[in-house]
Structure 1
């Protein structure tokens, strides 16, 4: 029978190691949190925000979903965004995708997938993702690069698409209009090297074309 004991044992070991290195480690965040950044990333288990950035508890406010999507009628991501900006006063937002994203791969394969005719939260989300990257799908299907490179380009295209939604969202534009010092970054994580790469950055609201 599966139990929680292995995770509990690792938790106790981790907590003990932290206290041994710093007896006040947990006291610093006991009564409040003051994260410097909001991280919007993919739910993929290989892309844990705190681990790959070397952050400690209290440094990152984190929202993760399939394919790091930003959808303005998604109360989950929008409430996290509003809370991070209005109450926690974060000064940085990092939107992070990753190469080898299963969500992007599912969006590419959607027309021939059982999800295409399904009525479920996952099917709707993958459909929305395919729509977001649709401008890049033509290049994907007609490109000369090997499939791995073309998949990587699609991941980057998704980051750019979600970034555009993020910087146009009401919480972000409101923060900039109120004079907040806020930097927004679009990044991609390389599973093979463990490195983050910055794709795009914006620090002020840009006029509509």
Structure 2
């Protein structure tokens, strides 16, 4: 029988360590949050935003989904983006993919995958992802699997980054004159390092 006891034990240990180092640690964030950044990342369990950036509670507002997709038709995604930009007034948005992304790999393999014959939320999402990186798939057909997947991960970041820069909430902030930086990054599971692929700080600017 599975139990939550190990997680609860680690939670108590973590909370105790934080209070021992700083008795006011939790009080600081109790009544409000003032994150400096919105993080849009992949749901992959190996890519936890706060851990890999060394952030504390209150520093990042986080949205994660399969393959870090930007979908302006998705109320979940758009409500997070709007809230972060127009109510929390974050200063930057980080869109982060990662090498070895299972979502991108599934999009690559879609024609031969059982998902191709499914009517499910996951199948629709992977189909949408494949469409967004279709040109990248065609251009890397001659590469070995690892190199091809890495290229497609970067192509996906750039594709989603372009959608983010064109989204209404982002454009509204830029048009108001408020400073906002967008950053497209990729995380390397093998090294733990982030790499910037694109950045943009104004409407119409080339990333």
Partner of 1:88: 88
Partner of 1:22: 22
Partner of 2:135: 135
Change in Cα spacing, 1:169 to 1:16, as seen in structure 2 (3 Å) is: same
Paired with 1:154 and 1:125, the residues of 2 have a C-alpha distance of 16
Number of aligned residue pairs: 206
Specify every segment of 5 or more residues in structure 1 that has no aligned partner in the other structure, as ranges.
none
Paired with 1:129 and 1:87, the residues of 2 have a C-alpha distance of 29
Partner of 1:205: 203
Partner of 2:172: 174
| Deviating 4+ runs (over 2 angstroms) | none
Q: Give 3-state SS (helix, strand or coil) of 1:40's partner.
A: strand
Paired with 1:6 and 1:96, the residues of 2 have a C-alpha distance of 30
Paired with 1:159 and 1:7, the residues of 2 have a C-alpha distance of 32
RMSD: 1.0
The TM-score normalised by the length of structure 1 is 0.97
Q: Give 3-state SS (helix, strand or coil) of 2:178's partner.
A: coil
**CA drift at 1:86:** 0.5
Paired with 1:31 and 1:72, the residues of 2 have a C-alpha distance of 31
Deviations along 1:166-209, whole A, 9 cap, x unmatched?
0000000001001111000000000000000000000000079x
What pairs with 1:1-209 in structure 2 (closer than 5 Å)? 1-143=1-143, 146-206=144-204
Specify every segment of 5 or more residues in structure 2 that has no aligned partner in the other structure, as ranges.
none
The TM-score normalised by the length of structure 2 is 0.98
